[in-house]
Amino acid sequence: MIAAGILLSTANAQTAVAQVVGEVEISPTTTLPITRVIEATDGNYNFKSFEVEASRAGSYYTEFWLLPARYANNAYTSFLIYVNDNYVGTITPTVGNWQAARVEGHETFDIAEGTNVITIATLAPEFPAVETIKVAWNDYDASFSSEAYEEYLENSASGVTYDVPEVDDVPVYMSEATAIVSSNFSSVPLNYTFYNTFSFTKDQEIFITTSSSASHKIDIVYYGSEPKYIFNPGIITPIDPIITPVNPGSANTSSLSSSASSVIPNPPYLKYEGVYTPATSEEMQGLSWVFPSQRSQNSSIQVATARVKITKSGQYLIRVRHAINGGSSLADVNVNGVYYYENAPITLSYKTCVIPADGNYYATFTFCNNVGTDDPYLFIHGGACDKIVGFNDDASKEERAQYGLSAWDSYISQKYFMKTSGISVSNYSSSKPASHCNIVAGISEGASQSVAKSRAKDANTAGVSDVSVTDESVRIYVPANIYDSFSIKATDRIHKISAYGLAGNCLGSIKWQESCAVIPAYCLNITQPGIYVICVETSNGVTSKKVVIN
């Protein structure tokens, strides 16, 4: 299991090659692809590093999408920025909430040809809440748009509700080997809800309070040991004067210090792997808590209070979610009386799902609606109290290959020591906070082989409830209705996608030049509910699938 936000292969990668969509060429972007994201710590500072690949050296515009906390002295989180181990400056926001920011006095950075590492540091226990970065030749391509987040914020403030399909727990197959029914949930709202990461130490007491006009819950989950700091032998030369943020938990939080003798931390040495140990199934389920809100006396405001004594040092995820399925609102969050997050969006997309506590491993994963844009974050609920008993972000390379997942699909494989009660999915991305995704839950170890046998016996398994989990080179995921889209993923480049009626007549076809495609049904001239045959031509041959569309 790859834990949230740690060592995310191709995380938040920007496409840097030309695409052909419906025979219309899209020019390549100047934005550099992000190939890896790593977190580390030296005990005093926490670091988040983005590796980017440049085909040529030059001066690149760079922008950060980040979430600063407000401190008790009304200052905000300071983000120290390094490029290839060299300190280049600081971002000091003056407002809270998610925002785009650049290093003061540095519109551009000098980027070398090949692999470059851009590192952000914040004082522990707060990990740098930097969702992603943009590095580009020109100013426009390096800029984030806050329009989608601002609109989402307005909708949350007005309490917009999202339709979470109720009757949607459709069995994908019955595994003869395990007698476990896997479930497919389609068109589940994929929305952002507040979360952040902190490093807490053993015996530390943490205190979290939240308030909102809506009923809500606080989740606290251990997800792994602190990523160990590996000393960088390079020497960082301070720049006069340096704005060095003080520890917000210390006594001198009334001001920020400015001193020519200030020492900034060395960034971690990132050429080694294995600096992070994810939580085991036992640890994640034993070190998790949920705290529901209650209406405050003589007020309509809902308040939740969490007080926990940490029994194991490491990284903890704090998430705030709406208590009503499909609901949305805003909440204020206070961590340890030090970190304040105001008007944070909260929501919930939840599906009832029982995975047995039998000591076996079960996989649960998502299928993004918009490959390369959507970024799901899965949470498994259980323990007879709706606490989180498992969560994860991106799938590994091997898991993506096995199930035909995108680089940003979420994947969890673990055993459960308490029966699960449901699954919720959140959007890791706040910059693109609203979408939909499909979820497959409860795939047991060895189920792929069993599924292959079942499908060979029954040729009528194709249809809207069918999700492929075998080693097929082409996977076709069927739209929920004629107004939705096909999602097609192949191991080879797709040449053409065609739709046929049962009489063998070709209804429509589209030429393609990528290995993944999202095609609205109407683009294939499918405008009426019925049974169709979808053919996908790749360099490896032609794959056909009979589908039922409502």
pLDDT in tens, 459-469: 333 333 333 33
For residues 199 and 341, state if they share a domain.
Answer: yes
Are residues 159 and 30 part of one domain?
no
Q: Residues 356, 444: contact at Cβ < 8 Å?
A: no
What does the mean pLDDT of the chain come to? 79
Q: Mean of the pLDDT values across residues 234-257?
A: 37
pLDDT value of residue 256: 33
For residue 434, being part of any structural domain is answered with: yes
Say what the pLDDT of residue 268 is.
63
Share of the chain above pLDDT 70, in %: 77
> Residue 269: pLDDT band by 50, 70, 90 thresholds?
low
The answer to whether position 270 is within a domain reads no
CA distance 491 to 539: 10
Q: Is residue 62 part of a domain?
A: yes
pLDDT of 502 reads 63
Higher-confidence residue of 271 and 473: namely 473
3-state secondary structure of 130: strand
Does the structure show a pLDDT above 60 at 50?
Answer: yes
pLDDT band at residue 11 using 50, 70 and 90 as cut-offs = very low
Calculate mean pLDDT across residues 280-293: 92
Note the pLDDT of residue 514. 79
Q: Is the predicted pLDDT of residue 13 greater than 50, yes or no?
A: no
Burial level of 147, CB count in 10 A (0-12/13-18/19+)?
exposed
Say if residues 51 and 35 touch (Cβ distance below 8 Å): yes
Residue 268 inside a domain? The answer is no
Which pLDDT belongs to residue 472?
Answer: 57
Q: What is the mean pLDDT of residues 497-507?
A: 76
Domain count along the chain: 4
Q: What is the pLDDT of residue 327?
A: 97
Beta bridge partners of 149: none
Domain boundary among 394, 425, 453: 453
- Residue 275, pLDDT score: 56
Q: Is residue 242 part of a domain?
A: no
438-460 burial by CB neighbour count: b if 16+ within 10 A, else e?
Answer: bbbbbbbeebbebbeebbeeeee
- State the pLDDT at residue 493: 84
Question: Does 3 share its domain with 41?
Answer: yes
In angstroms, the CA 65 to CA 373 distance is 15
Please answer whether residues 49 and 238 qualify as being in contact, where contact means their C-beta atoms are separated by less than 8 angstroms. no
- Cα 87 from chain centroid? 28
140-149, 251-260, 320-329, 372-381: the lowest-pLDDT one: 251-260
Contacts of 237 (CB under 8 A, 6+ apart): 87
CA separation for the pair 437, 267 (Å, rounded):
37
Q: Other C-beta atoms within 10 Å of 267: how many?
A: 28
Given a cut of 90, whether residue 225 has pLDDT beyond it is no
Q: What is the pLDDT of residue 503?
A: 56
Q: Hey, what amino acid is at 6? A: I
Tell me 147's DSSP state. H
pLDDT for 526: 85
**326: left (phi > 0), else alpha (psi -120 to 50), else beta?**
left
Query: Are 438 and 299 in the same domain?
Result: no
Q: Are 335 and 419 part of one and the same domain? A: no
Q: Are 100 and 94 in contact (CB under 8 A)?
A: no
Task: State the CATH number of the domain containing residue 60.
Answer: 2.60.120.260
Burial class (CB in 10 A: 0-12, 13-18, 19+), 396: middle
**Predicted local distance difference test score (pLDDT) of residue 384:** 85
Say what the pLDDT of residue 479 is: 82
Domain co-membership, 20 together with 136: yes
> Per-residue pLDDT averaged across 116-140, rounded?
94
Q: What is the pLDDT of residue 265?
A: 73
Domain of 206, CATH number, reads 2.60.120
Please determine, for residue 20, whether its predicted confidence score (pLDDT) is greater than 70: no
Mean local confidence (pLDDT), 522-541: 82
Q: How far apart are CA 512 and CA 38, in angstroms?
A: 34
Taking the mean position of all CA atoms in its chain, how far away is CA 351? 18
Q: How many CA within 13 A on the CB side of residue 72? A: 13
Same domain, 3 and 82: yes
Residue 422, pLDDT score: 94
Mean pLDDT of 399-403: 77
Among 329, 347, 365, which residue terminates a domain?
Answer: 347
Domain membership of residue 322 as a residue range: 195-226+275-347
pLDDT level of residue 442 (50, 70, 90 thresholds): confident
Please, are residues 547 and 482 in contact by the beta-carbon 8 Å criterion?
A: no
Matching residue, tokens 């035909």: 404
- The reply to whether 301 and 202 lie within a common domain is yes
Task: HSE, CB side, 13 Å, CA atoms: give it for residue 228.
Answer: 8
78-87, 152-161, 169-178, 409-418: segment of lowest average pLDDT: 169-178
Residue 485 reports pLDDT greater than 70: yes
For the stretch 311-326, pLDDT in tens is 999 999 999 999 999 9
User: Is 260 contained in some domain?
Assistant: no
- Same domain, residue pair 199 and 295: yes
**Omega of the bond leading into 125 within 30 degrees of 0 (cis):** yes
Q: How sure is the predictor about 337, in pLDDT bands with cuts at 50, 70 and 90?
A: very high
* Average pLDDT score over residue span 264-271: 63
Q: Which of residues 253 and 48 earns the better pLDDT score? A: 48
Q: Please, what's the b/e burial string for 408-428 (b: 16 or more CB within 10 A of its CB; e: otherwise)?
A: bbbbbbbbbeeebbbbbbbbb
Classified as helix, coil or strand, 392 is strand
Indicate if the pLDDT at residue 452 is higher than 70: no
- Using DSSP's 3-state secondary structure scheme, residue 524 falls into helix
Q: Residue 446's pLDDT is what?
A: 52
- Predicted confidence (pLDDT) at residue 166 exceeds the cutoff of 90: no
Residue 470 has pLDDT above 70, yes or no: no
Binning pLDDT at 50, 70 and 90, where does residue 491 land?
confident
Q: Which residue would you say has higher pLDDT here, 480 or 464?
A: 480
Paired sense of beta strands 494-500 and 530-538, if any = antiparallel
Q: How confident is the model at residue 183 (pLDDT cuts 50, 70, 90)?
A: confident
- CB within 8 Å of 206: residues ≥ 6 apart: 198, 200, 220, 306, 307, 308, 310, 335, 336
Instruction: Give bridge partners of residue 89 from the DSSP assignment.
Output: 81
| pLDDT at res. 228 | 59
Between 162 and 173, the higher pLDDT residue: 162
Q: Note the pLDDT of residue 537.
A: 86
Categorize the per-residue pLDDT at 168 as very low, low, confident or very high, splitting at 50, 70 and 90.
low
349 touches 433 (CB < 8 A): no
Q: How far is CA 247 from the centre of its chain?
A: 29
What CATH number corresponds to the domain at position 526? 2.60.40.1930
- How many residues in the chain? 550
End-of-domain residue from the set 285, 316, 347? 347
Q: Is residue 435 part of a domain?
A: yes
User: Are both 206 and 318 inside the same structural domain?
Assistant: yes
Q: Do residue 19 and residue 4 come from a single domain? A: yes
Residue among 130, 129, 131, 127 at smallest CA distance from 45: 127
Ramachandran area for residue 359 (φ above 0: left; ψ -120 to 50: alpha; else beta): left
Residues 4 and 126 in one domain: yes
For 380, phi then psi, to 5°, come to -100, 130
Task: State the CATH number of the domain containing residue 405.
Answer: 2.60.120.380
- Res. 456 pLDDT band, cuts 50 70 90: very low
pLDDT grade for 547, boundaries at 50, 70 and 90: confident
Q: What is the pLDDT of residues 516-528, one digit of tens each?
A: 888 878 778 887 8
What's the pLDDT at 71? Answer: 95
The Cα–Cα gap between 302 and 436 comes to 28
- Tell me the range of 232-236, 253-257, 301-305, 396-400 where mean pLDDT is highest: 301-305
13 vs 378, more confident: 378
Of residues 22 and 492, more confidence is placed in: 492
- Tokens 């952040």 belong to residue: 196
- DSSP sequence for 436-502: EEEEEEEEETTHHHHHHHHHHH-TT--STT----S--SEEEE--SSTTSEEEEEESS-EEEEEEE-T
